[in-house]
């Protein structure tokens, strides 16, 4: 039986042995201890709005953040040390992180694991590698991530402009895989998901309210359009550094998109692998149908931090393109499409604007 993936935090020596083996740098410990104070003084000065999961979110440098991930962002700036060959999976929420995480993990580790007995069969895709935004705050100093195998893989929902230069500047050799999705499907998916993980003390977020907030750009990690544009523009400037993928293209041509992904990660499939069906094996392993039917994804739980635990099944809903048609009126569709057209104008990016042909 294949062992548990190295990327998962639970194989860290401290998790296995129950004791920390990484020496704590006193200066970093102090910085870590001061994060709450720093966060509180920042939050007191920032515009706030209704959160989709927590009561409030705060506008920081143009993006809305919940206090928990805001603290994660401060920690990333203070003491995350990217390595030159780190690869970050970035996305706005509900645009395909679960899928990409599985694909990236399976691709990076394809020489180590057998597809018939793969770690993804036993751990939810979110266990395959850490979410930087939340994991950075868990169990310091394990969060230095020094133990992860190379290339280290991380996921983040933070907007490009919020991340430190050490990660995003073109001179930094870290890579980003960004996956985006058409905004109407992202809205529907996010609304469903956030109501599942929403604090039980709060009343459910009604769809019409979520729709208005989304159109106004007000939701965790949003505005959606600015998030997408930030990575799109950076990918245009540095195509070797940022691979920009679309959920819809991946649904249409998963094998072709996976080959693109592997090449970008510096792990192209060889001719022998292609002939041997490795690409199709990975596509099948990571498909919605396969992952969502695994026992671990029907019953397991992903713990992001002490407050946020998500049942694995909540990461799998329909996995389809165009589910928005079941929720949005024509007027609602028109409004989102028109925002998308306006925001993306002259960017060279097109994203899910429905063309209506008048007869």
- Among 157, 160, 192, 227, the active-site one is 157
Calpha distance 146→347 (Å, rounded) = 38
Backbone conformation region of residue 38, classed left if phi is above 0, alpha if psi is from -120 to 50, else beta? alpha
Smallest separation (angstroms) from ligand A3P to the CB of 227: 12
Nearer to ligand A3P by Cβ, of 149 and 322: the residue is 322
Nearer to ligand A3P by Cβ, of 96 and 222: the residue is 96
Calpha distance 134→330 (Å, rounded) = 38
How buried is residue 356: exposed, middle or buried, by Cβ count under 10 Å (0-12/13-18/19+)?
exposed
Nearer to ligand A3P by Cβ, of 317 and 335: the residue is 317
Catalytic, 77? Answer no
Q: Which of the 8 DSSP states describes residue 121?
A: G
Calpha distance 79→143 (Å, rounded) = 9
Calpha distance 233→246 (Å, rounded) = 15
Smallest separation (angstroms) from ligand A3P to the CB of 285: 9
Q: Which of the 8 DSSP states describes residue 46?
A: S
Smallest separation (angstroms) from ligand A3P to the CB of 260: 16
Give yes or no for a contact between 159 and 227, defined as CB atoms under 8 angstroms apart.
yes
Torsions phi, psi of 117, nearest 5? -145, 75
The 10 Å CB-count burial string (b at 16+, else e) for 99-128 is bbbbbbbbbbbbeebebeebbbbbbbbbbb
Nearer to ligand A3P by Cβ, of 220 and 337: the residue is 220
Which residues in this chain contact ligand A3P in the complex, by CB under 6 A? 91, 94-99, 185, 189, 192, 286-288, 291, 315-319, 323
Nearer to ligand A3P by Cβ, of 225 and 315: the residue is 315
Q: Known catalytic residues?
A: 157
């Amino acid at each position: 039986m294949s062992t548990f993936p190295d990327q998962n935090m639970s194989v860290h020596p401290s998790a296995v042995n129950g004791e920390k083996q990484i020496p704590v740098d006193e200066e970093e410990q102090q910085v870590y201890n001061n994060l709450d104070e720093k966060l509180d003084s920042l939050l007191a000065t920032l515009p706030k709005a209704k959160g989709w999961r927590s009561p409030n979110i705060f506008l920081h440098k143009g993006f809305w953040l919940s206090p928990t991930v805001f603290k994660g962002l401060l920690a990333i700036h203070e003491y995350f040390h990217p390595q030159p060959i780190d690869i970050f999976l970035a996305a706005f929420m509900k645009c395909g992180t679960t899928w990409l995480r599985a694909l990236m993990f399976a691709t990076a580790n394809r020489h180590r694991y057998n597809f018939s007995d793969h770690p993804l069969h036993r751990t939810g895709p979110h266990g395959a590698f850490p979410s930087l935004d939340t994991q950075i705050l868990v169990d310091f100093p394990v969060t230095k991530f020094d133990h992860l195998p190379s290339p280290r893989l991380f996921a983040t929902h933070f907007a490009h402009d919020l991340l430190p230069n050490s990660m995003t500047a073109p001179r930094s050799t870290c890579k980003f895989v960004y996956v985006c999705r058409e905004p109407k499907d992202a809205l529907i998916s996010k609304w469903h998901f956030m109501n599942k993980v929403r604090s039980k003390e709060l009343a459910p977020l009604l769809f019409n309210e979520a729709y208005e907030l989304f159109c106004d750009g007000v939701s965790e990690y949003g505005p959606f359009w600015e998030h997408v544009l930030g990575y799109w523009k950076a990918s245009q400037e540095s195509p070797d550094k940022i691979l920009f993928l679309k959920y819809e293209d991946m649904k249409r041509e998963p094998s072709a998109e996976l080959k693109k992904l592997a090449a970008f990660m510096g792990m192209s499939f060889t001719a022998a692998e292609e002939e041997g069906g490795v690409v199709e094996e990975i596509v099948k392993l990571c498909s919605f149908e396969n992952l969502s039917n695994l026992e671990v994804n029907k019953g397991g739980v992903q713990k992001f931090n002490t407050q946020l635990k998500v049942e694995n099944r909540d990461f799998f809903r329909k996995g389809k393109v165009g589910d928005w048609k079941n929720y949005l009126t024509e007027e609602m569709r028109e409004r989102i499409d028109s925002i998308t057209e306006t925001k993306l104008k002259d960017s060279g990016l097109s994203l899910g604007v429905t063309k209506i042909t008048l007869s």
